[in-house]
Amino acid sequence: MPRTLTRRAALPALAGALLLPLVAGCGGDGGDEDGVAKSGGKTGEADARSTTLTVLAASSLTDVFKKAGAAYEKQHPGTKVRFSFAGSQELAAQVRQGIGADALVTADSRTMDSLGGETGDPTVVARNRLAIATAKGNPENVKGLADLDRAGLKVVLAAPEVPVGRYGRQLLDQQKIEVKPVSQEPNVRAVLSKVTLGEADAGLVYVTDAAAAKGKVSTVTVPDRQNAVASYPAATLSGSKHAAQAADFVKWLSSDAAQKLLREAGFQQP
């Protein structure tokens, strides 16, 4: 009897001992949940402070906008700027298709104005002019627009619907120069690439693109009286999920800091 009573008395104690780890474990889970909640709150606050702006920009802005984006991010902690570069007509088509973006910068006002209610009020942030890019060293001795209709000279232009293509044809028509291009490209960088790769002897590009390719191509200046002025309007997009930040970025493009970068890249004042 004493031995049986001892065993029965031990059972409740053993059961209690086995339950202790389980109770402690539940308490630990509760502690972890509190920790997750606090951590989650911090993550939420960080997300609220972090914004990524998607900016659609004309190809001719590629180099300078990469610098401008870095400068903007430095001045605006918590905001990232992601660029998508293409011909202005391609960007406009993307906007009409409802692409998720916050701001747009085109190489002409006509393309921007064609978007109507898809954008906010545009502001011109820079201007540009055209130049003739030739193969390095200008082996064909191109001296001006009049040489572009020379027999045997391979000339590349941007397509008519591309701003630089339209500007180029305007120049040529005014001088009554008829050019049959070997190709018509979707943006100015594609024109420059054809010349750089030796697939064309010359091409009409923006002054800033020719400057960006210094050492790879030679540049022939087009006199102001024969040239055209390209305007670069910037605007917010109506579908932006970050309207305030997008408006701030567009406004910043007219600031002294942004304008300094544009001048250094060869763009003219608005």
Q: Could you report the per-residue pLDDT of 83-96, keeping only the tens digit for each?
A: 999 999 999 999 99
Is 25 contained in some domain?
A: yes
89 plus 36 within the same structural domain: no
CB neighbourhood size of 170 (10 A):
13
| Residue 134 and residue 202 in one domain | yes
Q: What is the dihedral of CA 47, 50, 57, 119, to 10 degrees?
A: 70
pLDDT tens per residue across span 117-140:
999 999 999 999 999 999 999 999
pTM above 0.85, yes or no: no
- The H or E element spanning position 55 is strand 51-58
Same domain (yes/no): 82, 114: yes
Helix (H) or strand (E) holding 123: strand 123-128
| Token pair in block for residue 8 | 């029965």
Give the range of the structural domain holding residue 64, as residue numbers without chain letter.
Answer: 51-125+232-264
pLDDT of residue 4 exceeding 80, the answer is: no
Percent of residues, the chain, with pLDDT higher than 70: 82
What's the pLDDT at 31? 34
Considering the domain architecture, whether residues 64 and 198 belong to the same structural domain is answered as no
Number of folded domains that form the chain = 3
Strand (E) or helix (H) holding 256: helix 256-264
Same domain, 137 and 215: yes
Confidence of residue 260 (pLDDT cuts 50, 70, 90): very high
Q: CATH no. for residue 142? A: 3.40.190.10
Q: What is the pLDDT of residue 43?
A: 37
Residue identified by tokens 């702006």 is 53
Structure tokens at 193: 């690439």
Residue 7 lies in a domain: no
- Classify residue 88: in a domain, yes or no: yes
For residues 77 and 152, membership in a common domain is answered with no
Span 231-259, average pLDDT:
97
**Do residues 103 and 173 make contact, with C-beta atoms less than 8 angstroms apart?**
no
Quick one: pLDDT band at residue 11, thresholds 50, 70, 90? very low
pLDDT in tens, 20-67: 333 333 333 333 323 323 333 343 444 446 899 999 999 999 999 999
Say if CB 58 and CB 85 are below 8 A apart: yes
Give the pLDDT mean for 156-179: 97
Lowest mean pLDDT among 27-41, 138-152, 196-210: 27-41
104, 119: one domain:
yes
